[in-house]
Structure 1
């Protein structure tokens, strides 16, 4: 096991519950969990510990929203995401812990900016590009590569994909169903790369076995709250926590 204190384990457990909540209520909110994992554990290894926790949340999300996925959008995204995952894997081959920590901090701040941009675009009632149009295909490739890279390096592809799906005009259930299948498939494809890089091993899986117990209650709360949640207030809290986490990682 990792040398962590009871307080640090409590922080990881709370972050795991946030993963469950984000998977069934507010996709992208788990950037908070990313910051907590990277602060408690070595930054590079934290991505390997977090991945199985995310996968468990993905399974719960698919079981909840599996009928609402839009598969043409998913097939359009996957090739570009694959390119991004490969680029992220190459980066992790040579990056040390300090570089990964700095990269995660920078990605968190980028994702906070992305979320603010997404909200302003929604407030301006911008017309989405149809997913099958030329502009829609270019947008899918761009977001796909960025999402693949950020999810491989830092498990932080949620805000990127959230912005893409919202800009494409997805409503709540279609958004959640498409996002659930997307991350289940993408995160599963990342497992061999993470094992090959030594990010997932027996020690990390032992910690995961304890942490996944906290994902389920978070997912249940998310399912109960999804139709009641004040999205604007929650996103403000997520943005604030994400910025604080990113700054902490950059200055640590």
Structure 2
């Protein structure tokens, strides 16, 4: 039987290679833009095949992110997020087993747009001096307030759920880390460890749900070079990007991902 991997048109291969490069860039420079990769994979491949194939490429990107930024993570933030992310993964796996994800993707997109609005509002207040305070990472506070705990629980659970359902946890967690005002490398290091752990946990669940097959492995073997090239390019960008430019890039990438989830 001929593998479906070789039945793609030439322009589909170009799009998939571009998506693979964006995966690499998102892991080493601009978190959140991997939602563009989600859109491309979903447009070219069947839904289940696209989710499984993209997960494997994201895991390759995780390796490059850890090699680049493993020493820069905020471990207190990570340890407090992991239980909520695990809860979100469980909800996501249950949902994939029982329901269709189209309507939930739209809800996720709407939530992301609201979160972007909140983030922009916080930035405006900070720069204008109106109230001044940011939503600081609760792990850095001596005693986390109920609002900080709620933010950590909400972002962590939603991040786990969205990454399980649609590989779309990047924008959610990017907004959380952004609100914590983490420097670029600390942001990237914390995100690297978070998603490396989450994606590794997702792997056996995805195999059990039939999202990863020999055909998706074959496809990824042909696309992994794009991830490598994107990761190298991303490291070059991250070493030169300014903090404010980085923050706006995260917001714009998240907005694009949210819009995609709304209209997909």
**TM-score, reference length from structure 1:** 0.88
State how 1:1-252 maps to structure 2 within 5 Å: 1-2=4-5, 3-95=7-99, 99-125=100-126, 126-129=133-136, 130-131=138-139, 132=141, 133-135=143-145, 136-226=148-238, 227-228=240-241, 230-231=245-246, 234-235=249-250, 238=253, 241-242=256-257, 245-249=260-264
Q: How much has 1:105 moved relative to structure 2?
A: 4.8
How many residues end up aligned between the 2 structures? 246
RMSD over aligned Cα atoms: 2.1
**TM-score, reference length from structure 2:** 0.85
2: CA distance, partners of 1:13 / 1:66 = 26
Aligned 8 A contact 1:112 1:242 in 2: no
Q: Which has the larger radius of gyration?
A: 2
1: CA distance, partners of 2:163 / 2:105 = 10
Q: How much has 1:245 moved relative to structure 2?
A: 3.0
1: CA distance, partners of 2:70 / 2:258 = 32
Moved more, 188-197 or 158-167: 158-167
Q: Which runs of 5+ in 1 are unaligned?
A: none
1: CA distance, partners of 2:149 / 2:233 = 35
Change (3 A) 1:244 1:204: same
2: CA distance, partners of 1:111 / 1:174 = 22
Aligned 8 A contact 1:43 1:101 in 2: no
